[in-house]
Chains A and B, each alone.
Chain A
Amino acid sequence: DADVTQTPRNRITKTGKRIMLECSQTKGHDRMYWYRQDPGLGLRLIYYSFDVKDINKGEISDGYSVSRQAQAKFSLSLESAIPNQTALYFCATSAEGRGSDTQYFGPGTRLTVL
């Protein structure tokens, strides 16, 4: 079984709809992240959480919100989706962020907003 899972894997929605993307992990990591990836722009950080009670904005948080329901679960919401939020979204987890602690990525959610 995959250590980091994301649901749904693909989603097509319409402008103005509320969308929730979910991420679960079995790695026992405290730190979780949400990124979006657009062609030519690389991975950009939306929100991150270093533990259940800690939520922080990344570089592109406008139009998004998150919820850390448990150590293993971190959800990303688009309150009112717009077409320029069409992108590939990745969840990631990491241990303490020291030394060679890397981030482990989920398989991604491809979101299309019409």
Chain B
Amino acid sequence: GQNIDQPTEMTATEGAIVQINCTYQTSGFNGLFWYQQHAGEAPTFLSYNVLDGLEEKGRFSSFLSRSKGYSYLLLKELQMKDSASYLCAVREDTDKLIFGTGTRLQVFP
């Protein structure tokens, strides 16, 4: 079956670092995406991994281990505007995206 697991909620302090984990079991794998979604708004693309390793993009980095079915999103130097939900999604061989339920991150001053 298909399953993507993420923690439901996380909290962190402004200026800190937070790591959001995602584990997956899918029938195929053609890349893993992270999206950011502010409450009531559309998801927006953050990062893409298809090979093992770390992809860095400014304050955000994403890691993938295909053998472990595991990814994480690392957010550095947290800002209040980073308070949002973070969605992990796997693209199957059919090019459809399977989404996790999302992790709601709250950043406190």
Contact = CB atoms under 8 A, between A and B. Distances in A.
Interface string B64-91: 0000000000000000000000010101
A50 B95 CA distance: 10
A47 to B, nearest CB: 11
A100 interface: yes
Given A97-B91, A105-B43, A108-B42, A43 B48 contact: no
A90 to B, nearest CB: 6
A106 B42 contact: yes
Given A97-B91, A102-B48, A43 B31 contact: no
Nearest to A43: B99
Interface residues of B, number: 21
A50 B96 CA distance: 10
A44 to B, nearest CB: 8
Contacts of B108: none
A113 interface: no
A42 B86 CA distance: 11
Contacts of B102: 42
A41 B42 contact: no
Interface in A39-62: 40-45, 48, 50, 58
Given A42-B102, A45-B96, A100 B48 contact: yes
B44 A97 contact: no
Contact of B43 (A40, A43, A99): A43
Contacts of B33: 102
Interface of A: 31, 40-45, 48, 50, 58, 88, 90, 97, 99-100, 102-108, 110
